[in-house]
């Protein structure tokens, strides 16, 4: 079960129990064998009050383009003058917070070990930062992102044999901002498992709403190849 920060913890401010902890505890009470992974986006983590306040308080964490401009997930407004900056995954503080944030939703690390089985990481396979970042620098950012996810996996392995899953460039028609060197082979070595979003506008739908059968076939070929290579793949099916 992947619990989405956007749904369960938007109003969480760092005190009391996060909605994710409440839902996870309820799920485990029904079936202790359920594995609960907490959804986080790898370039902005999530949008609850606590996380955004922590990001805003650390300007050294902020993603900046090659001109020094902050790259935002949400641009500043009159009501929200700081906005929501994206984070730079090469910064050690960001790498640590990526794992610390979901654990902090629980009353203690022991509580987290019982009710949080890892992270469901989104945005791992494409450049969701800025077009004003050079290819050479992006490769360093991508390497930092993979290091961040590897550290998260190591932390959860020690905590409770937990896992980190991510989306994994399983399509042969990657997002326009996916570098050529980013494939399922370079991504999946960092994960316990992966998910592929299919049958929707992200992957296999043409702009006019029709299905692109050729792209579907290529995606399935990669999913089969990754599976045959020993990787666990979850296919996320949803309407366009």
Rounded CA separation 2/238 (Å): 15
Q: pLDDT tens-digit profile of 183-235?
A: 788 778 878 888 776 655 555 777 787 878 887 888 888 889 989 999 888 88
Question: Which stretches in the chain have pLDDT values below 50?
Answer: 240
Tokens of 151: 């550290």
* CA of residue 229 relative to chain centroid, distance: 23
Beta strands in 26-113 (DSSP E): 37-41, 72-74, 84-85
Query: How many angstroms separate the first and last alpha carbons of the chain?
Result: 22
The predicted pLDDT at position 198 comes to: 65
The predicted pLDDT at position 129 comes to: 59
Helix axes 92-104, 49-56, angle to 10 degrees: 160
The predicted pLDDT at position 12 comes to: 81
Tokens of 130: 């800025």
- 60 bridge partner residues: none
Count of residues for the chain? 240
The predicted pLDDT at position 6 comes to: 61
* Locus of tokens 């045959």: 228
Of the candidates 177, 221, 227, which has an alpha carbon nearest to the alpha carbon of residue 202?
177
Q: Kindly tell me the sign of the dihedral angle through the C-alpha atoms of 169, 173, 177, 179.
A: positive
Rounded CA separation 95/80 (Å): 25
The predicted pLDDT at position 199 comes to: 58
Residue 136, burial from CB neighbour count under 10 angstroms (0-12, 13-18, 19+): exposed
The predicted pLDDT at position 36 comes to: 93
């Amino acid at each position: 079960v992947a619990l989405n920060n956007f749904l369960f913890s938007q109003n969480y401010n760092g005190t009391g129990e996060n909605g994710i902890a409440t839902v996870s505890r309820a799920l485990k009470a029904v079936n202790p064998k359920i594995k609960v992974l907490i959804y986080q986006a790898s370039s902005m983590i999530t949008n609850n009050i606590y996380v955004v306040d922590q990001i805003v308080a650390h300007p050294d964490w902020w993603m900046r383009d090659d001109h020094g401009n902050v790259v935002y997930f949400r641009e500043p407004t009159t009501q929200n003058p700081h906005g929501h900056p994206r984070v730079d995954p090469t910064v050690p503080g960001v790498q640590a917070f990526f794992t610390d944030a979901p654990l902090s939703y629980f009353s203690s690390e022991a509580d987290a070990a019982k009710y949080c089985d890892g992270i469901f990481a989104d945005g791992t396979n494409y450049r969701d930062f800025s077009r004003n970042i050079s290819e050479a620098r992006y490769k360093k950012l991508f390497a930092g992102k993979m290091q961040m996810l590897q550290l998260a996996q190591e932390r959860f392995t020690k905590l409770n044999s937990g896992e980190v899953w991510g989306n994994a460039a399983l399509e042969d028609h990657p997002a326009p901002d996916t570098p050529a060197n980013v494939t399922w082979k370079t991504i999946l070595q960092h994960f316990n498992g992966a998910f592929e979003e299919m049958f929707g506008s992200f992957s296999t739908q043409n702009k006019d709403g029709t299905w692109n059968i050729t792209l579907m076939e290529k995606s399935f070929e990669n999913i089969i190849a990754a599976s045959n290579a020993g990787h666990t793949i979850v296919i996320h099916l949803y309407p366009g």
